[in-house]
């Protein structure tokens, strides 16, 4: 029964990875790529300062996005799970939070233009309030815009697993804590947060991997002024430098897998579904 | 009922702001897509018109968006059907341990977390090096499955974790074959969740960008076409297109949700005759 899935994953996941690893040792001329066993691509990659800067940037995006998505996602899930009392409303509001996930990311990025542009809503509002005299230039096409878009796109990935775990918390535990004299903050810190950890971990895995593997959000929202590893790869691809793109891809994949490996130590995904 | 604590109102406001943050930008471009003919990419509106929607129907103005829409739609349906069938089979298989089950599980997790561009790059390289042509319905199709299958399968895991096996045992005790058990007992029970899997399959495929980037060949899918437009189109026609495909996505989501609601109701109605028999 599992054979078809196995076949799809072998052909479109395992083989591509094998291919990328292989090609990462090949040589490239301007027009073609030549089979070889050559460490040149890796030497160039690790010998260049750009690589370290770009990897640092990638981690920076991942970390800042993680902080914001976790803060917002946890608050929203907490509100839905513990403050909304009827199941119907919980489902309705939860669906409202998830619907954007099923629409196009690219259009959701484009839709920030009228907000953040030089003559956009944010600037004209701030000017009319007298907060600033001149339009801010750093709203669109900047790191700020990149992070904003990431938070906008990926907060759902925090809300869903955290909400899912919270809904399974036995309400009598919270009553017991209250009977024992715990304040609201103590219940949150000592009961709810520890019990929500698996959901937080799953959300974290989603957000971190999506941000680390992204290239299109960074390219679009930074106006090509910032770079992360994904963009490094896509730039190489655009130059048809497949071996060098592959070497970067291998390093990126290893980085992501190590990060995930560390996180999976804290959570058993199959038990949490 | 006990009175609402003050934190409820604070959190309600936070939630409302969050919804505004989620939907505000999309609503803004929906409004701006009705710009008058002289209007630009930001407010103020210079009159209202359907000018930019009309532009979409003129081939030379925007390229082949209708062709790409047809391709994305067909691809979405292909991915949807495949995802549903393979996820159910996989979900059934995973109820027992089998040889390679933990390898397959780790492959599924890898498929979920691997940066999309690696799939694009790897599949593109395989096809080009073996002399095959990349095409949205072959290489593009397979690449998208690596994104939709993990979601489908994780949903099926969740479904079968909550599945009461005694129904199947009852069916078997009554002499049903394994196919009859599947067809008349298991599938009707998991039916509503399959609509969820289908929703993931269709919409994730319809909106997928990175995995189709290097694997769709010379015929673009809609997201690729839209992304191409962002670099050279600077009129609200971009918003008009964005609004139309978002409306289309919302219609599809609505359709799936209605189907799910309908089949849950139907299941509840036809599900149990306990207590209605002869006493």
3-state secondary structure string, A109-162?
Answer: HHCCHHHHCCCCHHHHHHHHCCCCCCCCCCCCCCHHHHHHHHHHHHHHHHHHHH
Residues in chain A closer than 8 A to B250 (CB atoms): 99, 103
Question: How confident is the model at residue B1, as a pLDDT?
Answer: 58
Helix, strand or coil, per DSSP, at residue A34: strand
Contact between chains at B104 and A273 (C-beta distance less than 8 A) = no
- Looking only at the bridges linking them, the beta strands covering A33-34 and A27-28 are antiparallel
Nearest to A28 by CA among A229, A234, A245: A245
Is the residue at B68 inside a domain?
A: yes
Nearest to B144 by CA among A8, A102, A20, A15: A8
Instruction: Determine how many CB atoms are found less than 10 A away from the CB of residue B262.
Output: 12
Largest CA distance in chain A: 74
Place of tokens 């991942």: A62
- The domain in which residue A238 lies consists of 15-26+36-267
Per-residue HEC secondary structure of B173-217 comes to: HCCCCHHHHHHHHHHHHHHHHHHHHHHHHHHHHHHCCHHHHCCCC
Is the residue at A5 inside a domain?
A: no
Nearest to A191 by CA among A170, A161, A214: A170
- Which residues are CB-neighbours of B87 under 8 A, at least 6 positions away? A5, B149, B152, B153, B155, B156, B197
Contact between chains at B199 and A102 (C-beta distance less than 8 A) = yes
Q: Residue B152: which CATH number? A: 1.10.3720.10
Cβ(A20)–Cβ(A250) below 8 Å: yes
> What are B103-153's pLDDT values in tens digits?
998 899 889 889 989 999 999 989 888 888 888 888 889 999 999 999 999
Is the residue at B181 inside a domain?
A: yes
Min Cα separation B276/chain A (Å): 28
Closest chain A residue to B108, measured at CA: A9
Question: How confident is the model at residue A70, as a pLDDT?
Answer: 96
Average pLDDT over residues B181-200: 88
Rounded CA gap, A196 and A199, in Å?
A: 6
Which of A6, A102, A269 is the closest to B203 by Cβ? A102
Cβ(B86)–Cβ(A4) below 8 Å: yes
- The domain in which residue B151 lies consists of 64-266
Rounded CA gap, B230 and B215, in Å?
A: 20
Distances in Å between the Cα of B84 and the Cα atoms of A236, B88, B182 are: 36, 6, 15
b (16+ CB within 10 A) / e for A172-211:
eebeebeeeebeeeebbeebbeebbebbbbbbbbbbbbbb
Question: How confident is the model at residue B268, as a pLDDT?
Answer: 77
Question: How confident is the model at residue A66, as a pLDDT?
Answer: 95
pLDDT at B265 over 60: yes
Rounded CA gap, A138 and B22, in Å?
A: 21
Contact between chains at B19 and A97 (C-beta distance less than 8 A) = yes
Place of tokens 């929703």: B199
Place of tokens 């918390």: A169
Cβ(B47)–Cβ(B39) below 8 Å: yes
pLDDT at B276 over 80: no
Surface-to-core class of residue B257, CB atoms within 10 Å of its CB (0-12 exposed, 13-18 middle, 19+ buried): middle
Contact between chains at B121 and A16 (C-beta distance less than 8 A) = yes
Rounded CA gap, A272 and B180, in Å?
A: 31
Question: How confident is the model at residue A251, as a pLDDT?
Answer: 93
Is the residue at B137 inside a domain?
A: yes
Surface-to-core class of residue A245, CB atoms within 10 Å of its CB (0-12 exposed, 13-18 middle, 19+ buried): buried
Min Cα separation A49/chain B (Å): 23
Question: How confident is the model at residue B215, as a pLDDT?
Answer: 83
Surface-to-core class of residue A80, CB atoms within 10 Å of its CB (0-12 exposed, 13-18 middle, 19+ buried): buried
> What are B192-241's pLDDT values in tens digits?
888 889 988 998 898 888 888 888 888 888 888 888 887 777 777 888 88
Min Cα separation B279/chain A (Å): 35
Is the residue at B75 inside a domain?
A: yes
Which of A1, A85, A214 is the closest to B93 by Cβ? A1
10-residue mean pLDDT profile of chain A (273 residues): values are 88 92 84 78 85 91 95 94 87 88 85 83 84 80 90 92 90 90 87 90 91 89 84 87 90 91 78 67
Number of domains in chain A: 1
Instruction: Determine how many CB atoms are found less than 10 A away from the CB of residue A29.
Output: 8
Question: How confident is the model at residue B62, as a pLDDT?
Answer: 59
Number of domains in chain B: 1
> What are B36-75's pLDDT values in tens digits?
777 777 777 777 778 778 777 776 555 678 888 889 999 9
* pTM for the structure as a whole: 0.88
Q: Which two tokens stand for residue B197?
A: 């899997």
Question: How confident is the model at residue B88, as a pLDDT?
Answer: 92
Question: How confident is the model at residue A159, as a pLDDT?
Answer: 93
Question: How confident is the model at residue B278, as a pLDDT?
Answer: 54
Question: How confident is the model at residue A264, as a pLDDT?
Answer: 82
Q: Which two tokens stand for residue B182?
A: 């599947």
Which of A9, A20, A104 is the closest to B122 by Cβ? A20
Which of A5, A152, A216 is the closest to B209 by Cβ? A216
Nearest to B245 by CA among B207, B205, B202: B207
Q: Residue A55: which CATH number? A: 1.10.3720.10
Average pLDDT over residues B10-18: 92
Cβ(B64)–Cβ(A136) below 8 Å: no
Question: How confident is the model at residue B262, as a pLDDT?
Answer: 87
Rounded CA gap, A260 and B144, in Å?
A: 22
């Amino acid at each position: 029964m599992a054979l078809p899935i196995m076949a799809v994953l072998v052909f479109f996941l395992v083989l591509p990875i094998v291919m990328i690893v292989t090609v990462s040792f090949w040589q490239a001329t301007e027009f073609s790529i030549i089979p070889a066993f050559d460490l040149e691509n890796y030497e160039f990659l690790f010998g260049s300062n750009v690589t370290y800067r770009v990897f640092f940037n990638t981690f920076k995006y991942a970390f800042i996005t993680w902080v914001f998505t976790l803060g917002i996602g946890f608050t929203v899930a907490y509100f839905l799970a513990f403050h909304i009392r009827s199941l119907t409303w919980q489902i309705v509001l939860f669906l409202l939070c998830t619907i954007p996930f099923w629409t196009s990311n690219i259009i959701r990025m484009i839709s920030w233009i009228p907000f953040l542009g030089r003559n956009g809503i944010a600037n004209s509002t701030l000017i009319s309030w007298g907060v600033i005299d001149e339009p801010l230039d750093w709203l669109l096409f900047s790191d700020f815009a990149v992070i904003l878009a990431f938070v906008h796109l990926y907060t759902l990935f925090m809300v869903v697993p955290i909400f899912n775990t919270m809904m399974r918390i036995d309400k009598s535990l919270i009553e017991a804590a209250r009977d024992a004299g715990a304040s609201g903050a103590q219940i949150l810190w000592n009961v709810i947060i520890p019990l929500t950890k698996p959901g937080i971990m799953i959300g974290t895995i989603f957000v971190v991997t999506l941000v680390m593997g992204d290239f299109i959000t960074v390219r679009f929202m930074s106006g090509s002024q910032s770079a992360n590893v994904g963009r490094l790869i896509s730039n190489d691809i655009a130059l048809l430098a497949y071996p060098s793109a592959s070497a970067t891809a291998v390093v990126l994949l290893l980085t992501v897998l190590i990060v995930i490996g560390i996180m999976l130590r804290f959570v058993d995904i199959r038990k949490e579904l | 009922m006990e009175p609402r604590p003050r934190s409820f109102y604070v959190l309600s406001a936070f939630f409302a702001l969050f919804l505004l943050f989620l939907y505000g930008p999309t609503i803004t471009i929906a409004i701006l897509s009705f710009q008058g003919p002289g209007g630009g990419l930001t407010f103020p509106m210079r009159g209202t018109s359907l000018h930019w929607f009309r532009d979409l129907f003129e081939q030379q103005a925007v390229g082949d968006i209708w062709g790409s829409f047809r391709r994305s739609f067909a691809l979405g349906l292909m991915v949807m059907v495949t995802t549903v069938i393979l996820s159910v089979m996989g979900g059934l298989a995973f109820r027992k341990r089998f040889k390679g089950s933990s390898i397959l599980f780790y492959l599924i997790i890898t498929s979920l977390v691997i940066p999309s561009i690696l799939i694009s790059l790897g599949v593109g390289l395989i096809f080009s090096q073996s002399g095959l042509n990349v095409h949205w319905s072959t290489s593009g199709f397979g690449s998208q499955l690596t994104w939709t299958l993990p979601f489908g399968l994780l949903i099926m895991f969740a479904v079968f974790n909550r599945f009461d096996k005694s129904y199947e045992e009852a069916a078997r005790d009554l002499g049903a074959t394994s196919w009859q058990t599947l067809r008349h007992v298991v599938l009707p029970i998991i039916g509503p969740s399959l609509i969820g899997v289908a929703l993931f399959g269709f919409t994730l495929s319809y909106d997928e960008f990175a995995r189709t980037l290097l694997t769709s060949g010379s015929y673009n899918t809609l997201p690729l076409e839209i992304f191409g437009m962002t670099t050279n189109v600077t009129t609200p026609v971009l918003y008009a297109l964005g609004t139309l495909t978002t409306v289309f996505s919302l219609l599809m989501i609505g359709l799936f949700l209605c189907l799910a609601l309908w089949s849950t109701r139907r299941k509840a109605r036809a599900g149990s005759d306990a207590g209605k028999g002869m006493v």
